[in-house]
Each structure stands twice: as C-alpha cells, then as structure tokens.
A and B are shown apart, each in its own frame.
Chain A
Amino acid sequence: MAPIAAPEMLNPGVEDVLADTKTHQGVPPPQDQTMVINMGPQHPSTHGVLRLVLEIDGESVVSLAPDIGYLHTGIEKTCEAKFYQQVVPLTDRIDYLCPMTNNLAYCLATERLLGLEIPERAQYLRVLLNELTRIQSHLVWLGTHAMDIGALTVFLYCFREREEILRIFEAVAGQRMMTSYFRIGGVSMEPPLDFHKQVQNFLNIMPDRVQQYEDLLTANPIWMGRLKGIGLLSAADAIALGVTGPPLRASGVDWDLRRDMPYSGYEKFKFNVPVSNDCDVFARYAVRMDEMRESVKICQQALDGMPEGRIVADAPKIMLPDREQMKTQMEALIHHFKLVTEGFGVPAGEVYQAVESPRGEMGYYVVSDGTAKPYRVHMRNPSYASLQALETMCKGRLLADVVAVIGSIDIVLGEIDR
C-alpha cells in the first residue's frame, strides 16, 4: 500500500504524541505502509473530548497515544482559594456522572483531618445515595457503550431508569446532576417525606430492569462477537498500569475498597464483589451488570436499616446552625456569621481518602496548613489511570475494537482533565 499522507500533514504535534508510545513500549518505527490518524477530540464514541493519535497498519492498530487536557479547568488550583465547605460544589464537576461519590471522598478526607464523628443516619444516607449514583453512572455507561457498538435501543431503556434516580436526587438535593448534597460533617438537609417510598419504588423495579438489559444484550450474537476476546488486559498489566474498579475486577483481581478498606460504614452492609477472569470487554460488561444488582441490595439494606437521628455532626464550630436556632440564639447567630465570613480552621496535616467510585479508586489527597482554606487538594481519578492501559488493550487489534475498548473502561473526561 502506498503512503497515504505524511504524519506532519495531518496534524502538528502528532509525532510528539507518538514518541510517547514508541520510546516507552518499544514499538518499531513506522514502516511506510502505516498511517497515522486522529480520533477525536470531537468524536461521538470518545465519550467527551478525548483525542487519540492512532498509527494503523491497514485495519490493525500499531500504536495508540491518548492526548488529553481539553477539559482542564484547574479545579485543584481553584480549591486552594476556597473555604473548605465551598470546595464541595467544585467536586461535583470533576466527575459529573458520580457527583455524590466525589462529594463523599472529599468530605471523608476533610472529616478525618478535623477528627469529626458523623452520625449514623448521615452515613446511611451517604451510602444509599452513593449506590444510587453507582447505578445511575453504570446506566449511562451501558447506554452509551451499547450505542457505540450499534445496539441503539438499550440507550433509551437505560435512560428511563436513570431518570427515576435523577428524580430522587432532585427531591433530595434540589439538583439532578450537580447535587452537592453532602457537607463536611454530614448531609445538607433532611430528605423529603416521601423519600423512602420513592426509593423503595425504584428498588422494586430495578432488578427486573437489569434483567431486561441483559435480555437485550447478553446472548445477542452481535454483542458477543464485538465484545468477547477484545481488549485483553492481564491482571499483572492492570496492576502495573494503575487500573482500578470494574476493569480490574474483570481481570480477575478481587479488590473492592468498599469491602476491603471500608469507609462511611460500608462494613455494616452485606454484598458480593463480582469478579471475572476473562479479562476482556465482555467481562467488564458482565461485572458492571452484576454490580448494579449488588448496589440494589446495598440500597435496600440502607433503606431498611436507616436509623433516626441527626444528619449532621454535633460541631457548632464547623456546621452551620439550624435556621431556627440562628434566629433565636445569639451564639448560633455568631457561629453562622463566623462560618460564612471566615470559614473554619482545619488542623494541619495530610490525608489520603480513597473511595470506590463507579469507575474505580477515587482518591482525595487533602493537605491542610491549619488555615480555613485547603493548602492543596489533589484528586486521584480512576479514568486517568485506566486511560494509560488503553494502548495495551488495543495494540494489534482492529481499529473498530478501539471504540469497544474505550467504552469498556468507562472514561469520563471531566475527571481525567479536572
């Protein structure tokens, strides 16, 4: 095959990006029959603004280099200029498909810096909403992943159930996506009166709905043909490349932070951690489908066992006072004024708090120098690490499989670029 285009004609910087993979992975220099193509940043199957520079030989991928940063908003820098409590709404915007998980990781980290005890009711609410978030995120993943493969119907079914969850979020927090419902020290307000009924209705229908998706996809010959044996990632590679979450468990590593290093009271809940040894895209699909079922179980336990009591810690120097108290008690008014104008100081120290987000290990590293603003907030995001494994999974495979593999690691560019 004759050379189609010189790389420099396609896009400046392409060779720089390719240098990454060549020097590190030991790929031979391009022969004259390979072609360099750009995929993204505006491409429907890259789930955001991911740019991939692919070197292909005919239809098979010789090397692949992700180019990111198109959504970089400098959230880590912004955090340093805000009071601790004001950082919570920023964390929603990192991973917009699991806002509650981000809220939780940040709040837990800061609470550990402060040494705050969180009431049990708040912990249960947090667990319940986190599992709903996981189902909601997996539904978006399933719908878009299936759409990438060509199964367009599933998308509508998934968004039907996602809508139910977003309605619950709206009832609880007043927002569908950027909920900012958690606070350092608890949650922002009592859930509405029909919350229990609303969640119970959803939990009643959800197991059947998961079965519906499975009926549409699991035994479908096209679905199996596109997913089985594709995007292989061994357990050793997954660990070396920092992959976490469902892709790690689909590579046979039995590791889930909710069970193995529990936080926010997860040790009180009984659930299974789905694991598969097939290491391919289909295994990741199967693991996530089972995770949705397990999440429903956790939600049910949280709903049934939800204790009564306070929803915020008893710490007047940190939590905003009740509105009623603020208007009737001098002390509460002073606390309110001080908290709003000056924030609260956090004892110096550093904390790394990791939680299991729908995509894997979401870690918040918060450093305090004793003042009212965080000295440094760093997020360790699961998609960022998983993206590094993309080349290992795609090399030597067909170009069309790249789309399936991207879908299978469930990337969210908001959290990659921050």
Chain B
Amino acid sequence: MDAALTGIGAVFEAHADNAAVKALSELATDAKFDRGELTITVSRENIIAACEAVRQAGYTFLEDVTAVDWYPSEPRFQITYHILSMALKTRVRLAVRLNGDDAVIDSIVDVWPSANFYEREVFDLFGVRFSGHPNLRRIMMPEDWQGHPLRKDYPVEGYR
C-alpha cells in the first residue's frame, strides 16, 4: 500500500493531470490521496461552486452524499460527496467540515436533483441543515422523533 499523500501541495503536484485537481485548484482548502482515492476539502461557502466545477470537468454523476460525525472534535461534521466520472472512470470525494453549533450548508439539489434524498437522510440522521433544499424533512425516522441517531453523542440503544 502506498503511503498517503496529504496537503494541497503534495497532492496537486503528484496529480497535476487529474481533471478534478485542475477544476478545484482555486477552491481547495485541503487535499488527500489515500488508497487510490482523491479527497478534496473545500469550504462550505464554495460547495455549489465546487460541484459545478467538477461537473464541468466531467464528473457528471453524484453517487452519494453522507456525513461523518467527528464529535467531540471541532469542526464536528464532515459532509462527504462522492462524485463519479463515467468518461474518466474515476471518482472524486469532496469533503466539507462544519462546526457543531452552526451545521448548515448549501444544498446542491440544483446541481444534481438526486441530492434531494441524500441530503434529507443526512438532515434526518445527523441534524445538518441544507439551506435551499426544497423539502428538508425527516426521511427515515418518524416525523416526531427527537434527536438525530447517527450523531456520536446519541446512544446506540437509543434513549429509553
């Protein structure tokens, strides 16, 4: 297994030809190349711009939007977007870190309509809000459920 490359400098130099690297050279705040997977971190203000940029670069298929809760460290939430390029046969992972007390990010439904359900799931299970989402309601849990089960401070057995 090759050692992971971390940091914008190292990754962008080693993968200068990568379409996603070229598209995000302005927007990236951090980057990682680990186990054959490219991760580019952007700030939350730029997520729509970043999605548009990679889509222009040929990454046309949004596979997944999900989150990781790094509680108790801050910024707490990592929102992860997996985007596939069918033409280039490769994928890129966009990551955004959000603070726990201000877990809001722009919705990318206007870029990819398929983000609708994915973002609702993240809202339901993590409590991250997506501004501009057309219908931000719970999707898995009952409407009157208290709390967000996939947060790390939510017990596995639930509250009883």
Residues of A bordering B, CB below 8 Å: 13, 16, 19-20, 23-24, 68-69, 72, 74, 76-78, 80-81, 112-113, 115, 239-242, 253, 255, 260-261, 349-352, 354, 361, 363, 365, 367, 375-376, 378, 380, 384-385, 387-388, 417-418
* 5 tightest A-B CB contacts, nearest first: A242-B114, A115-B1, A20-B135, A24-B134, A380-B64
> Chain B contacts of A417 at CB under 8 A?
140
CB atoms of B117 and A387 under 8 A apart = yes
CB atoms of B37 and A351 under 8 A apart = yes
Interface on chain A toward B: helix, strand, loop, or mixed SS?
Answer: mixed
Compute how far the CA of A116 lies from the CA of B135 in the bound complex, rounded to whole angstroms: 43
- Interface status of B129 (Cβ within 8 A of chain A): no
CB atoms of A352 and B93 under 8 A apart = yes
Q: Would you list 19 pairs from A and B whose C-beta atoms are within 8 A, ordered by A residue?
A: A13-B143, A16-B143, A24-B135, A68-B139, A77-B150, A78-B156, A80-B156, A240-B114, A241-B114, A242-B112, A349-B34, A349-B35, A351-B37, A352-B37, A352-B64, A378-B66, A380-B64, A388-B114, A388-B117
Compute how far the CA of A72 lies from the CA of B142 in the bound complex, rounded to whole angstroms: 10
- How many residue pairs link A and B with beta carbons under 8 A? The number is 102
Closest partner residue, chain A, to B143 (CB atom): A13
Interface on chain B toward A: helix, strand, loop, or mixed SS?
Answer: loop
> Chain A contacts of B137 at CB under 8 A?
16, 20
A74-B135 contact given A13-B143, A112-B35, CB 8 Å threshold: no
> Chain B contacts of A376 at CB under 8 A?
68-69
Compute how far the CA of A24 lies from the CA of B134 in the bound complex, rounded to whole angstroms: 6
CB atoms of A253 and B140 under 8 A apart = no
Contact of B141 among A72, A253, A354 (CB under 8 A): A72
Contact of B63 among A20, A76, A253, A380 (CB under 8 A): A380
Q: Give the shortest distance, in Å, between A272 (CB) and chain B (any CB).
A: 18
- Interface status of B160 (Cβ within 8 A of chain A): no
